[in-house]
Amino acid sequence: MNKLLIAVSTLGLIAAGGTGVAFAADVSKAPSKKITVFYPGASGMEWILKGTLHGGAKGIKKGESCVGCHVDEKTGNEEAPDIGNKIVAGEKSKDMALEPEPIMGKPGSIPVTVQAAHDADNLYLRFTWKNTGFSSGKKMDADNPIKLAVMLEEPGKVEYDTVGGCWPTCHNDVRTMPGVKDDKKTKYVVGGNLAAGKYFDIFQYKSGKGQKPNDGYIADKRVMDGGKALLDAKGELKGDTWTVTFTRKLAGGEGDVKLETGKTYNFGFAIHDDYTHGRYHYVSLGYKLGLDDPKAEINAVKQ
């Protein structure tokens, strides 16, 4: 009987291997990187590029990234907490407040632990952070207490993508921004063209009951579905810690950035807490994501 069981089990394992069934990578064991997301107020791309308002505009126009100036390359210290605190409190910078309506008590930033791994088919991302517990009482998106969105882009396609992160998609005339004329106008990239590869890939986890994750892209406008890459997005609040994980195919379809080893990709993410939407989120600066690339700021290691 025992011999029969062993034989059946062995056959089963061989069959599984033969049909390509593999165990998913355990992203919780991947190396981690701390990235502080901060409250950006209304600092859209137009503000970023305006030298009279943003001292870094000169550098950006010469190809410098946000991280190049706002994260100390020697110590790793991030300016994000200071920047977030000032903006959320409505403090002026160069005579302009980036948050015209300061939000009392809202934390200016959240430190997030980011982990990435991949296997032959998929990319796995894991984000953990301490729940802010902040409640403004306003429920802009009543269905979702928390959302986490990730954007990816193949460098060199979108104008000013060297700035990194999600900024090339954020403009002064989109909804919730100060220069909005059409409150249905969503994020876009200048010269956005899906066929020409001028787009940002976006996928999002939403914490509301029964809410499905989004997988879309941002070209001339934001399209939040139709993507073929996102396989799964899960999130849970355990104690005071949120954990969100994504499983995404390395290659999807139209609007999904194809991830390959030997290349790096623009990577940014944003967290909406307190039932917020639009610009009322926390954002990361832009980082480079690579597969098995120790030089990449976020290195997805193969498991």
Partner 1 sequence: MSDTQNSSKGWCTALCKPSGRYSLLTLLLGGFVAGIIVWGGFNTAMEATNQLEFCIGCHEMKDNVYQEYKKTIHYSNRSGVRAICSDCHVPKDYAHKMMRKIQASKEVWSKITGTIDTKEKFEAKRLELAQREWARMKDSDSRECRNCHSFEGMDLDKQKQRSRKNHEMAQKEGKTCIDCHKGIAHQRPKGMPEEDEE
Residue 189 near residue 169, CB atoms below 8 Å: yes
- Interface with partner 1 includes 55 (CB under 8 A)? yes
Q: What is the CA radius of gyration of the chain?
A: 21
* CB of 65 or CB of 204, closer to partner 1: 65
CB atoms < 10 A from the CB of 134, how many? 13
* CB of 80 or CB of 257, closer to partner 1: 80
Q: C-beta of 272: minimal distance to partner 1 in Å? A: 28
Nearest to 203 by CA among 111, 128, 268: 268
* CB of 94 or CB of 212, closer to partner 1: 94
* CB of 94 or CB of 228, closer to partner 1: 94
Give the per-residue contact string, 78-107, with partner 1 (x = CB under 8 A; - = no): -x--------------xx------------
The count of chain residues that interact with partner 1, using the rule CB under 8 A, is: 21
Tell me the CA end-to-end span of the chain in Å, nearest whole number. Answer: 36
Q: C-beta of 117: minimal distance to partner 1 in Å? A: 29
Give the per-residue contact string, 166-185, with partner 1 (x = CB under 8 A; - = no): --------------------
Q: C-beta of 47: minimal distance to partner 1 in Å? A: 12
Q: C-beta of 72: minimal distance to partner 1 in Å? A: 4
* CB of 78 or CB of 215, closer to partner 1: 78
Q: C-beta of 64: minimal distance to partner 1 in Å? A: 7
Among 73, 137, 195, 294, binds partner 1 (CB under 8 A): 73
* CB of 60 or CB of 298, closer to partner 1: 60
* CB of 79 or CB of 293, closer to partner 1: 79
Among 33, 46, 57, 194, binds partner 1 (CB under 8 A): 57
Nearest to 228 by CA among 263, 206, 257: 257
Residue 235 near residue 246, CB atoms below 8 Å: no
| Distances from the Cα of 73 to the Cα of 70, 78, 145, angstroms | 9, 9, 35
Among 58, 138, 212, 302, binds partner 1 (CB under 8 A): 58
Joined tokens for residue 193: 């063209």
Long-range pairs for 160-163 at CB < 8 Å and ≥24 separation? Answer: 160/45, 160/49, 160/60, 160/190, 161/266, 162/60, 162/63, 162/64, 162/65, 163/45, 163/48, 163/60, 163/65, 163/66, 163/286
Among 17, 31, 51, 63, binds partner 1 (CB under 8 A): 51
d(CA 291, CA 264): 8
Q: C-beta of 273: minimal distance to partner 1 in Å? A: 28
Q: Of the listed pieces 44-52, 105-113, 123-131, 247-255, which binds partner 1 according to CB under 8 A?
A: 44-52
Determine how β-strand 282-283 pairs with β-strand 287-291. unpaired
d(CA 248, CA 291): 13
- Report helix, strand or coil for 15: helix
Name residues contacting partner 1, limited to 1-30 (CB under 8 A). none
The binding site for partner 1 (CB under 8 A) comprises 50-52, 55-59, 62, 64, 68-74, 77, 79, 94-95
